[in-house]
C-alpha cells in the first residue's frame, strides 16, 4: 500500500497554497530542459535547429536552441517518474512496452510533495538507492544550482554526475521509441508508425491542449468564467473522442500508438480525481460508453493497468493541491473492480499490437505498484 498518512504541509513554510490557483485561467509553464539522449550525438548536434513543441515529434533530427545531446548508453540514466503524475506515468508505460527496463532504471518518488520538490519517501531511509538523494530537487541543483522553475517529473538523470539531463516529457517518450531502438525488447511495438505520424500529431495536440491539460484548466481555474470555459472545452473534446472511438478500437485505428498512451493516463485518473477534485463532473468516464470500454481495454493490456497505483494517484491530488482541498482528506472511492469487466472492444477488430509485436512480460516484483490496483488482488 502507498503511505496512508502522507506528509502534509498545510500551514507550514513549505505549503503549496497559492502555487496552483492564481486567479483567472490556468496556464501551464511549458519551459523545460530540452536536452535529448540520442543514438548519434554528432548527427543530432550538427542538424538544423528545431522549434520547441508542447507535444514533441518523433521525426525531429536536431536540438532546440541551447539544448545539448547526450549519448544513449545502457545503465547510465535513471528515469525519475512518480506513479501519481500523468505526465510521468506515460514514460513508465512506454519504458515497459518497449522493454527498456534493463537499459534505463526507474526511481519512483512518493505521491506527494511540497513547494520544493518530489521526495524519495517510499524507501526505508528516505533516499533513492541509486542516486542517493532525498529530493529530486538535489538532482536538478546538481546540474543547475540556481534552477528557477518547478521540479517536475518525469526527469531523466545522469547517474554518474547525479544531474538532471532532461525533464522535457513531450519529447522524452518519442526518443524512447526512436533513439533507444538498440535496447528495445524483441517484439517491442512500434508506437510511432511513420505512415501515421502526420495524422497522429494533430490528434495528440488536441488531446494535450483540451484533455490532458484541459482537466487542469478546469481544476485550477481562479474564476467562474475561466472554469466554465475550461469545462466546456474539456467535454467538447471528450465528446469528440467518444465519437472517434465508436467504430475503431484505438485512436489511430487497429493498434496501440503513443496517442493512446497519452490519453490513457488522463482517463485512468478521471473518476478517482478529475470528476470530483477538479469539478469535471458533467459525467463520469464510466458514463461514456465508448471511452469507458476503450479505457478498460487499455487497462487490461499488459503495460497499462499493471503500472497504475490508484492510492498514489488520489494521495497526490487531494494532499498536494491545498488551494482546492485545504482539508487534504483523501476519498475512499471509487470502486476499482469494474476496470476488469469485459469491454467488448474486440468486436471492432484490430489488436493491441501489430503483427510481429508482442505484449511485455510480467512486471518485475520490485516495480509493481504498491498501492490499490485490481490486477494485483
Residues whose CB falls within 8 Å of the CB of residue 65, separated by 6 or more in sequence, listed in order: 49
Catalytic residue status for 216: yes
- Quick check: 165 and 70 in contact, CB under 8 A? yes
Q: Is the Cα dihedral 189, 64, 148, 16 positive or negative?
A: negative
- Quick check: 136 and 155 in contact, CB under 8 A? yes
Measured between alpha carbons, how far is 137 from 162 in angstroms, rounded to an integer? Answer: 11
Catalytic residue status for 85: yes
- What the block records as the C-alpha cell of 213 is 491539460
How many Cβ atoms sit within 10 Å of the Cβ of residue 248?
16
- Quick check: 101 and 367 in contact, CB under 8 A? yes
Nearest Cα residue to 10 out of 326, 238, 285: 326
Task: Identify the active-site residue in 77, 140, 169, 216.
Answer: 216
Q: Characterize the bridge pairing of strands 163-166 and 155-158.
A: antiparallel
3-state class of 234 per DSSP?
A: helix
Please spell the DSSP secondary structure of 324-345, one letter per residue. Answer: T-TT-PPP-----GGGGS---G
Task: Identify the active-site residue in 32, 77, 85, 250.
Answer: 85
User: So which residues are the catalytic ones?
Assistant: 85, 216
Amino acid at each position: 500500500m502507498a503511505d496512508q498518512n502522507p506528509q502534509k504541509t498545510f500551514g507550514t513554510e513549505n505549503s503549496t497554497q497559492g502555487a496552483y490557483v492564481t486567479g483567472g485561467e490556468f496556464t501551464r509553464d511549458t519551459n523545460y530542459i530540452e536536452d535529448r539522449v540520442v543514438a548519434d550525438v554528432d548527427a543530432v548536434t550538427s542538424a538544423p535547429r528545431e522549434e520547441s513543441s508542447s507535444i514533441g515529434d518523433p521525426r525531429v533530427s536536431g536540438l532546440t536552441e541551447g539544448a545539448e545531446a547526450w549519448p544513449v548508453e545502457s545503465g547510465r540514466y535513471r528515469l525519475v517518474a512518480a506513479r501519481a503524475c500523468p505526465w510521468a506515468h506515460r514514460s513508465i508505460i512506454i519504458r515497459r512496452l518497449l522493454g527498456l527496463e534493463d537499459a534505463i532504471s526507474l526511481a519512483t518518488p512518493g505521491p506527494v510533495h511540497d513547494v520544493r520538490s518530489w521526495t524519495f519517501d517510499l524507501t526505508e531511509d528516505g533516499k533513492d538507492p541509486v542516486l542517493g538523494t532525498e529530493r529530486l530537487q538535489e538532482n536538478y541543483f546538481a546540474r543547475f544550482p540556481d534552477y528557477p522553475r518547478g521540479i517536475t517529473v518525469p526527469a531523466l538523470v545522469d547517474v554518474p554526475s547525479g544531474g538532471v539531463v532532461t525533464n522535457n516529457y513531450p519529447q522524452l517518450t518519442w526518443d524512447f521509441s526512436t533513439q533507444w531502438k538498440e535496447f528495445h525488447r524483441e517484439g517491442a511495438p512500434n508506437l510511432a508508425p511513420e505512415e501515421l505520424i502526420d495524422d497522429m500529431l494533430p490528434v495528440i495536440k488536441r488531446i494535450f491542449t483540451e484533455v490532458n491539460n484541459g482537466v487542469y484548466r478546469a481544476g485550477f481555474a481562479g474564476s467562474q468564467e475561466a472554469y466554465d470555459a475550461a469545462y466546456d472545452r474539456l467535454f467538447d473534446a471528450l465528446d469528440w473522442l467518444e465519437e472517434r472511438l465508436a467504430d475503431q478500437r484505438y485512436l489511430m485505428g487497429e493498434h496501440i500508438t503513443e496517442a493512446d498512451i497519452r490519453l490513457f493516463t488522463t482517463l485512468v485518473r478521471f473518476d478517482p480525481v478529475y470528476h470530483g477534485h477538479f469539478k469535471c463532473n458533467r459525467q463520469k468516464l464510466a458514463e461514456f460508453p465508448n471511452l469507458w470500454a476503450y479505457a478498460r481495454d487499455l487497462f487490461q493490456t499488459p503495460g497499462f493497468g499493471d503500472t497504475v497505483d490508484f492510492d498514489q494517484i488520489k494521495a497526490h491530488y487531494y494532499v498536494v493541491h491545498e488551494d482546492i482541498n485545504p482539508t487534504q482528506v483523501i476519498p475512499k472511492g471509487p470502486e476499482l473492480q469494474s476496470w476488469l469487466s469485459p469491454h467488448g472492444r474486440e468486436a471492432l477488430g484490430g489488436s493491441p499490437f501489430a503483427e510481429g509485436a508482442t505484449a511485455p512480460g510480467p512486471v518485475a516484483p520490485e516495480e509493481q505498484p504498491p498501492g490499490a490496483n485490481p490486477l494485483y488482488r
